[in-house]
């Protein structure tokens, strides 16, 4: 057994049960629904979550309590020498900064290494899998942290939303813009490049949005990631929020057709993202991978 425990949160798309099978400790992210706290992958399913959203409930994200994180570290350090914790990007949540502060306490200093890998969803999951593989040959958690952070920006994510309702609720677009966009069937495409969630483009219909995202990924591969691509160090990813299985299969097949020389990693977009995008959102991306 490796002396280094690998830990992440459910924003990676890795749920606690799946993480346990893979030897990865997963902190379930809390979701506040009408002021009641649920834990992703633990006491609420995606089906239940999106059913509640469709009923007009108020849903917001939160971060794990310091107590939960501390107890997880204490438990892991009983069996391991070090803990490598890979939370979601510091630019999208305060979870990472909180963990860094906690890791400086005497009980964890030098034993717990918090990785700010500037990722979320499938690219974050890839970093977790990479960490597990690196830990098989590198017995220094700090060294693995440095590798992952050095490579952290070797990733791009593009997300299209099927409904403007949740961007309106979150204040990212005005009610007037949402109304016009709904009438015109506009689908905003957002991008995450490191820490920021920014607007990328607008299209009419999800298939058009998907084509636009594929073109953006192709451009990234040909420019920013050309060297990594030539070395065979890239993967593509796809993630959705509560999408019809037939539609998901179509997008997965199209991804394989667009990028036949790269492996495709598929996972759900987590509930934390779903709070802001609603059901039917589609995300694709490209990222460096060790395994």
3-state DSSP assignment of residue 87: coil
User: Does the pLDDT value for residue 170 go beyond 60?
Assistant: no
In this predicted model, which residue has the larger pLDDT, 177 or 150?
A: 150
User: Does the pLDDT value for residue 83 go beyond 70?
Assistant: yes
What whole-number distance in Å separates Cα of residue 186 and Cα of residue 176? 13
In this predicted model, which residue has the larger pLDDT, 291 or 24?
A: 24
pLDDT in tens, 86-130: 999 887 778 899 999 999 999 999 999 999 988 989 999 999 999
In this predicted model, which residue has the larger pLDDT, 181 or 62?
A: 62
Mean pLDDT, residues 144-164 taken together: 90
What is the per-residue pLDDT for 175? 52
pLDDT in tens, 1-18: 469 999 999 999 899 999
What is the per-residue pLDDT for 271? 84
Mean pLDDT, residues 27-41 taken together: 91
Pairing relationship of beta strands 25-27 and 4-9 according to DSSP bridges: parallel
User: Does the pLDDT value for residue 185 go beyond 70?
Assistant: no
What is the per-residue pLDDT for 242? 75
Q: Does the predicted TM-score (pTM) go above 0.85?
A: yes
pLDDT in tens, 244-266: 788 889 999 999 999 999 999 98
* CA distances in angstroms from 61 to 19, 121, 169, 194, 245, listed in the order given: 21, 15, 13, 20, 26
What whole-number distance in Å separates Cα of residue 163 and Cα of residue 188? 9
User: Does the pLDDT value for residue 184 go beyond 90?
Assistant: no
Q: What is the mean pLDDT of the chain?
A: 87
* CA distances in angstroms from 166 to 26, 160, 198, 238, 240, listed in the order given: 27, 12, 16, 21, 15
User: Does the pLDDT value for residue 198 go beyond 90?
Assistant: no
Q: Which two tokens stand for residue 125?
A: 């999951």
Confidence band for 74, pLDDT divided at 50, 70 and 90: very high
What is the per-residue pLDDT for 178? 44
* 4-29+64-150 CATH, one of 3.90.25.10, 3.90.1300.10, 1.50.10.10, 3.40.50.10440: 3.40.50.10440
What is the per-residue pLDDT for 93? 78
Domain ranges, ordered by start, for the chain: 4-29+64-150, 155-288
What is the per-residue pLDDT for 168? 57
What whole-number distance in Å separates Cα of residue 238 and Cα of residue 282? 7
What is the per-residue pLDDT for 53? 81
Confidence band for 171, pLDDT divided at 50, 70 and 90: low
Confidence band for 172, pLDDT divided at 50, 70 and 90: low
User: Does the pLDDT value for residue 183 go beyond 50?
Assistant: no
Continuous H helices in the chain = 16-22, 46-54, 66-76, 95-103, 121-134, 141-150, 165-169, 175-183, 206-222, 226-230, 245-258, 271-277
What is the per-residue pLDDT for 14? 92
Which CATH code for domain 155-288?
Answer: 3.30.1180.10
3-state DSSP assignment of residue 191: strand
Q: What percent of the chain has pLDDT over 90?
A: 57
């Amino acid at each position: 057994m490796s002396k280094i425990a690998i830990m992440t949160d459910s924003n990676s798309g890795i749920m606690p049960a799946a993480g346990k099978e893979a030897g990865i400790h997963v902190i379930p992210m809390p979701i506040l629904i009408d002021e009641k706290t649920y834990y992703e992958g633990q006491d609420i399913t995606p089906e239940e979550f999106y059913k509640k959203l469709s009923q007009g409930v108020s849903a917001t994200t939160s971060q794990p309590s310091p107590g939960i994180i501390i107890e997880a570290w204490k438990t892991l350090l009983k069996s391991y020498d070090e803990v490598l914790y890979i939370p979601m990007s510091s630019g999208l949540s305060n979870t990472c900064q909180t963990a860094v502060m906690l890791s400086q306490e005497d009980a964890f200093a030098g034993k717990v290494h918090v990785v700010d890998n500037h990722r979320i969803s499938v690219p974050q999951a890839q970093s977790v899998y990479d960490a597990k593989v690196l830990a098989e040959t590198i017995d220094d958690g700090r060294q693995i942290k440095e590798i992952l952070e050095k490579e952290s920006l070797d990733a791009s994510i593009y997300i299209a939303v099927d409904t403007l309702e949740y961007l309106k609720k979150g204040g990212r677009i005005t009610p007037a813009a949402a109304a016009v966009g709904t009438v015109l069937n506009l689908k905003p495409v957002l991008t995450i490049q490191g820490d920021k969630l920014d607007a990328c483009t607008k299209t009419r219909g999800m298939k058009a949005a998907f084509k636009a995202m594929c073109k953006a990924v192709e451009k990234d591969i040909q420019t920013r990631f050309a060297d990594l691509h030539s070395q065979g160090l890239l993967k593509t990813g796809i993630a959705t929020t509560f999408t019809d299985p037939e539609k998901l299969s179509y997008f997965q097949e199209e991804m394989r057709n667009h990028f036949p020389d790269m492996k495709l990693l598929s996972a759900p977009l987590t509930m934390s993202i779903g709070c802001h995008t609603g059901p039917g959102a589609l995300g694709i991306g490209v990222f460096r991978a060790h395994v």
